[in-house]
Chain A
Amino acid sequence: MVAFVLGHLFVMHYQHAPSATGAAFVNRRWGSASWRVFDWMLLVLALTHGLVGVHGVLRDHLRRARAVVDGVFAVGGLAFIALGTIAIGAGARGERGGPLAGADWIPTVLIASLVVLASLTYLAILATASVLVTFLLRRRPLGWWNYPGQWAFALSRVAGIGILGFLLLHILDIALVPFAPGLYERTVTGYALPYLVPMEALLVAAVVYHALNGVRLMVLDALDRRATAARGPSVVAVIVVTVLLVLPSVVMLLRTHP
């Protein structure tokens, strides 16, 4: 899955700016059966992984209504996989028209949802920074945050939740390609709003970090006790590599949105 995700990121965020990938781009891509298989594999793997992960987060915090959460995740997951499968299966249908062509509210709802997701992300970043500064100014222990593993854990969870939120929106917008390509075009154009542009780099950062952190845990497991001393530095290494890998997408964004 790491290979699929990083491959997707390379094409969508390093070779192109996402807001520049309109219906014509998707139509070209879905003209190839291999890309459609690639996208479908990515859909199933990423969505399943994301739902299982966020389900685990909710189970840590919820003591009641667990059966309801289980049901919502199972039904919701199947519905989104079905929607994505139908969209990829239907494939390219031209760049105008489509059975949903008159549903002008869809781009508005999708862009508004992305604005909400962006607002929550920016607030989370501000809150984390202010808590950190407060602790540092008061010169008191940082509680759980004294452990690098705690940062890795929290960042991985926040990144995972954010990625799932974006993935669900992305499945909804990409499903417009076969059924209302014009509306898809309007939705993607909306992603170029200045307020949303930083989200493209943050999404790359979240995906790269989440993937590298997963690989880090697998390597630490494999190395067993030999890696005990490397646990803290490995978190720093993952963050540094993430920043380095995000830079090309930032360059791409600056070129597209000068």
Chain B
Amino acid sequence: MIFRVRRFNPDADARPAWRSYTVEIQPQMSVLDGLFWILEHADGSLGFRYSCRAGMCGSCAVLINGREDLACRRRLDRLRSPVHVEPLRSLPVIKDLVVDMAPFFAKYKAVDPFFAATDASMMGRDGTPAVVRPDSRVRDVVDRQLGCISCGACYSACPVVALNPAYLGPAALNRAYVLSADVREPIEKNRLPLLLGDGGVHACHDVGNCVTACPVAINPLLSIQLLRKGAADR
């Protein structure tokens, strides 16, 4: 199978270039396995990132045939040759398929993405012990949106991220919703000024690429919609 990999070394190359490799594939090999084959048999200088190899850590997110995906999960027997592999968009390339995730995590951090329970917060916002019923609408939505693996696929797929440097991006806004919807969160954590600013929920144009791109089937657009409705209700 032919692999076409977008190679770029900012220290040595003027611009990115496509390089072709013929990879000997075995049944059930993934795109990540193909990249390992290139590393071991064709070009030891190829740069790519990986960790868990099980679709849980998000480290190996790349563009496969133009769409964001996890290299460890995409099987080669379901793809046609040639397979195009590129680094994620809207993030600086460190080398080849390795991008600098710092801008992504800086925006993630900006929404105060940590849950810090306090005695007061465990009492709930109305002063009674916090109860999140298993069949509640909040739990229904939050549970589904909690599984983000921070791979950056939605951030890369979002054209608004590329257009508007201030835009927080789908992952950060999804995290902001998950925490804001949690009744145990201290109410003094008011993210509204940030979420309603230039880079907040109203910068999203409902393109929906984030929903299609998410490898763990989260719907960040739903979180953004719910944040908009919540902001309007307050």
Residue numbers in B under 8 Å from A142 (CB-CB): 66
Interface-forming stretch among B29-37, B122-130, B158-166, B179-187? Answer: B158-166
Contact status A146-B144, CB under 8 Å: no
A141 and B156 alpha carbons, distance in the complex (Å)? 15
Say whether, besides A60-B164, A61-B163, A231 and B208 are in contact (CB < 8 Å). yes
A56 and B4 alpha carbons, distance in the complex (Å)? 38
Contact status B208-A220, CB under 8 Å: yes
- What is the distance, in angstroms, from B131's C-beta to the closest C-beta of chain A? 24
Chain A: CB-nearest residue to B63? A141
Contact status A149-B219, CB under 8 Å: no
Bits for B51-73, please: 1 = Cβ < 8 Å to A, else 0: 00000000000010111000000
From A60, A150, A220, give the contact of B209 (CB < 8 A). Answer: A150
B1 interface residue (CB < 8 Å to A)? no
Among A56, A141, A220, find the residue whose CB has the most chain B CB atoms closer than 10 A. Answer: A141
Interface-forming stretch among B99-107, B112-120, B168-176, B210-218? Answer: B210-218
Bits for A221-248, please: 1 = Cβ < 8 Å to B, else 0: 1001100100110000000000000000
Residue numbers in A under 8 Å from B217 (CB-CB): 228
Say whether, besides A153-B159, A220-B208, A147 and B67 are in contact (CB < 8 Å). yes
Residue numbers in B under 8 Å from A153 (CB-CB): 159, 205-207
Residue numbers in A under 8 Å from B163 (CB-CB): 60-61
Interface residues of A in 118-171 (CB under 8 A from B): 139-150, 152-153
Contact status B212-A231, CB under 8 Å: yes
Contact status B208-A141, CB under 8 Å: no
**How many of B's residues come within 8 Å of A, CB to CB?**
27
B9 interface residue (CB < 8 Å to A)? no
Residue numbers in B under 8 Å from A61 (CB-CB): 163
Residue numbers in B under 8 Å from A221 (CB-CB): 206, 225
Contact status B164-A225, CB under 8 Å: no
A74 interface residue (CB < 8 Å to B)? no
Main secondary structure of the interface of A (DSSP, over half): helix
A217 interface residue (CB < 8 Å to B)? yes
- What is the distance, in angstroms, from A165's C-beta to the closest C-beta of chain B? 20
Say whether, besides A140-B84, A231-B212, A146 and B67 are in contact (CB < 8 Å). yes
Residue numbers in A under 8 Å from B205 (CB-CB): 56, 60, 153
Residue numbers in B under 8 Å from A228 (CB-CB): 211-212, 217, 219
Contact status A141-B66, CB under 8 Å: yes
A149 and B208 alpha carbons, distance in the complex (Å)? 6
Contact status B225-A149, CB under 8 Å: no
Contact status B65-A152, CB under 8 Å: no
- What is the distance, in angstroms, from B152's C-beta to the closest C-beta of chain A? 16
Chain B: CB-nearest residue to A140? B84
Interface residues of B in 63-97 (CB under 8 A from A): 63, 65-67, 82, 84, 86
Contact status B84-A225, CB under 8 Å: no
A-B contact count (CB 8 A): 63
B192 interface residue (CB < 8 Å to A)? no
A61 and B82 alpha carbons, distance in the complex (Å)? 35
- What is the distance, in angstroms, from A14's C-beta to the closest C-beta of chain B? 29
A147 and B225 alpha carbons, distance in the complex (Å)? 20
B222 interface residue (CB < 8 Å to A)? yes
Say whether, besides A141-B63, A217-B206, A232 and B212 are in contact (CB < 8 Å). yes
Say whether, besides A61-B163, A150-B209, A152-B207, A141 and B219 are in contact (CB < 8 Å). no
A241 and B164 alpha carbons, distance in the complex (Å)? 32
- What is the distance, in angstroms, from A53's C-beta to the closest C-beta of chain B? 10
Contact status B206-A146, CB under 8 Å: no
A228 and B212 alpha carbons, distance in the complex (Å)? 7
B157 interface residue (CB < 8 Å to A)? yes
Contact status B219-A225, CB under 8 Å: yes
Contact status A146-B66, CB under 8 Å: yes
A122 and B99 alpha carbons, distance in the complex (Å)? 39
A146 and B207 alpha carbons, distance in the complex (Å)? 13
Interface residues of A in 183-210 (CB under 8 A from B): none
Chain B: CB-nearest residue to A217? B206
Contact status B159-A150, CB under 8 Å: yes
Contact status A149-B212, CB under 8 Å: yes
10 sample A-B contacts, Cβ–Cβ < 8 Å, listed by A number:
A140-B84, A141-B63, A147-B213, A150-B159, A150-B207, A153-B207, A224-B222, A225-B222, A228-B211, A232-B212
9 other A-B residue contacts (CB within 8 Å) besides A146-B66, A224-B219: A60-B164, A61-B163, A141-B86, A144-B159, A146-B67, A150-B207, A152-B208, A221-B225, A225-B219
| 3 nearest CB pairs, A to B | A141-B66, A146-B66, A149-B208
